[in-house]
Amino acid sequence: MSTLLALAPMRMEARAVGRGAPGALVARTGVGPDRAAAGIGGHLATADAHAVRAVAVTGVAGGLVPDLRPGQVVVADRVLRPDGTLVAELLSATVLAAALRRDGLPVTVGGVVSTDHLVRGDAERRSLAATSGALAVDMESATLLAPDWGLPTAVVRTVADTPGGRLVSPGSATDLVRALRALTRTGPAMQRWAAAAGTRSVILAGPRSYCAGVERAIDTVRRGLERFGAPLYVRRQIVHNSHVVAELEAGGAVFVRELGEVPDGATVVLSAHGVAPTVREEAARRGLRVVDATCPLVAKVHTEMRRFAARGHQLVLIGHPGHDETEGTLGEAPGIRLVETPEDVAGLDLDPGRPVAYATQTTLSPEETAATIAALGARYPHLTGPSASDICYATHNRQEALAAIAPRCDLVLVVGSATSSNSRRLVEVAERLGVAAHLVDDETDIDLGWLDGASTIGITAGASAPESVVTRVLRALGGLGPLEVTAEDVRRESVTFPLPLEVR
């Protein structure tokens, strides 16, 4: 059974696609909207008769913007008429484009405009780009996607002529060959895309996404930009998420690793993960204005460590080496030992006759630290820990919510960046329950192969991941077929933290 119906205008385009997608049904539509319209009833019938799962309009196209090169692949996220009217939105375009990139193809995602004639001059290209906002032009997509196929659809075109390098010009034959070769190379990814198409259910784990500490940290930078203007320096990633960092950078935030990169007298925001006292001392010495976005729950851990140190306790921190939060907490008192696992406890050289106190990295849940705490207790009978109120609610809640839905899922997607400790832990939670799980920074990280056979997908997001990215993932999955989305909230969160005084 073929899953992909590929529609291509000319014989040479159909052949190129067929070579790359041998399992696909490839149909010729003829060139131009009239021929395409005349054959559409037949194509719809073909799709029906062969239980096709997805339809891709393919072929070569003209580039409208100067940076497109011959052989570049354009995946349409929308198909337009020359006046900019929207004909179709193609929701899975970014996922398909990512699959093509993984196959080594140069890919751009954007609008494709369909005209009723071959566009030749640069003036017309410029005008079309301006009126439609499209990247490339063809003559068939608008016609072929006007009817409701009731199936996932895509437009994948390869650029054959570019501004300044028209189809009928010296060298144009080479450009056409490049475009056709690229078209052949799009075949495998288009087949994977079609194989991933189907009806699905999604269960959204709740709570997910931002915790109160992350919201406060992001708002601190936004308000700081409003109040102090750009550039506003931020030490380390304000929260561990690439989208958040990119958005704030676009607004004028400048992320630095150390204070040495901040000019004297400038304003610097300290990230949610907290800093060692030496960082504050350096800022004071340098005359920097500090806005402290340290999460109050992290600050509480720091206070506890200082309190225990003042009472003469030997100190142990359970956390991940090299994490921003761990580095900050370790700086609170000399001689704090860092352990990650119960095995690490065996290597400690503390005096068993003196009291020992421990704290944990906030992004570790009680379940994750239980074995290490037990090992500490067995080795050091005078062990004291933090009070229950010091444990971060957000990590625990997100893990609990995912554990509640994961056993009913074929696949779990955790939205979060690879740098986010609590997001990576969520992947482990699902895997411990025997469910395939993957961390995705956004929908472009989704490997189409994961979706094959996955009819129920669980989705959650780490505490530093924006809900807007969850929406993007849902939208992309919706572009692969009908999606039934249910939200399951195991509990509601009402925690909020006031903003730092400097930005209130």
325 in active site: yes
| Per-position b or e across 265-275, b if 16+ CB within 10 A of its CB | ebbbbbbbbbb
Q: Which stretch binds ligand SF4 (CB under 6 A): 14-22, 223-231, 295-303, 432-440?
A: 295-303
Total residues at interface with ligand SF4 (CB under 6 A): 15
Pick from 193, 252, 243: nearest CA to 58: 193
Contact between 10 and 29 (Cβ < 8 Å): no
Q: What are the structure tokens assigned to 382, written together? A: 């005078």
Complex with ligand SF4: residue 128 or 461, whichever CB lies closer: 461
Q: Please tell me whether residue 242 binds ligand SF4 under the rule CB under 6 A.
A: no
Q: Please tell me whether residue 9 binds ligand SF4 under the rule CB under 6 A.
A: no
> How far, in Å, CA of 166 to CA of 257, rounded?
48
Contact between 193 and 92 (Cβ < 8 Å): yes
Q: E strands of 84-177, at which residues? A: 86-89, 107-114, 136-138, 153-161
Contact between 295 and 217 (Cβ < 8 Å): yes
Q: Exactly one of 13, 215, 304, 325 is catalytic; which is it?
A: 325
Q: How far is the CB of 197 from ligand SF4 (least distance, A)?
A: 37
The 412-451 site mask, x for binding ligand SF4 (CB under 6 A), equals ----------x-----------------------------
Quick one: which of 297, 373, 470, 483 contacts ligand SF4 (CB under 6 A)?
A: 297
Q: Please tell me whether residue 213 binds ligand SF4 under the rule CB under 6 A.
A: yes
Complex with ligand SF4: residue 186 or 420, whichever CB lies closer: 420
> How far, in Å, CA of 237 to CA of 64, rounded?
37
Q: Please tell me whether residue 316 binds ligand SF4 under the rule CB under 6 A.
A: no
Give the residue at shortest CB distance from ligand SF4. Answer: 213
Complex with ligand SF4: residue 37 or 299, whichever CB lies closer: 299
Complex with ligand SF4: residue 88 or 239, whichever CB lies closer: 239
DSSP 29-83: --SSHHHHHHHHHHHHHHHHHTT--EEEEEEEEEE-STT--TT-EEEEEEEE-TT
CA distances from 55 to 2, 107, 286, 303 (A): 11, 19, 62, 60
Q: Which stretch binds ligand SF4 (CB under 6 A): 184-192, 240-248, 294-302, 451-459?
A: 294-302
Q: Which parts of 360-399 interact with ligand SF4 (CB under 6 A)?
A: 362-363, 392, 394-395
Q: Which stretch binds ligand SF4 (CB under 6 A): 100-108, 290-298, 305-313, 330-338?
A: 290-298
> How far, in Å, CA of 463 to CA of 300, rounded?
18
Distance between alpha carbon 103 and the CA centroid of its chain, in Å? 19
Q: Please tell me whether residue 318 binds ligand SF4 under the rule CB under 6 A.
A: no
Q: Please tell me whether residue 212 binds ligand SF4 under the rule CB under 6 A.
A: yes
Q: Please tell me whether residue 270 binds ligand SF4 under the rule CB under 6 A.
A: no
Q: What are the structure tokens assigned to 45, written together? A: 């019938």
Complex with ligand SF4: residue 162 or 417, whichever CB lies closer: 417
Number of C-beta neighbours around residue 400 at 10 A: 16
Q: E strands of 304-376, at which residues? A: 314-318, 337-339, 356-360
Complex with ligand SF4: residue 40 or 234, whichever CB lies closer: 234
**Residues labelled catalytic:** 325
> Where on the chain is the footprint of ligand SF4 (CB under 6 A)?
211-214, 272, 295, 297-298, 362-363, 392, 394-395, 422, 463
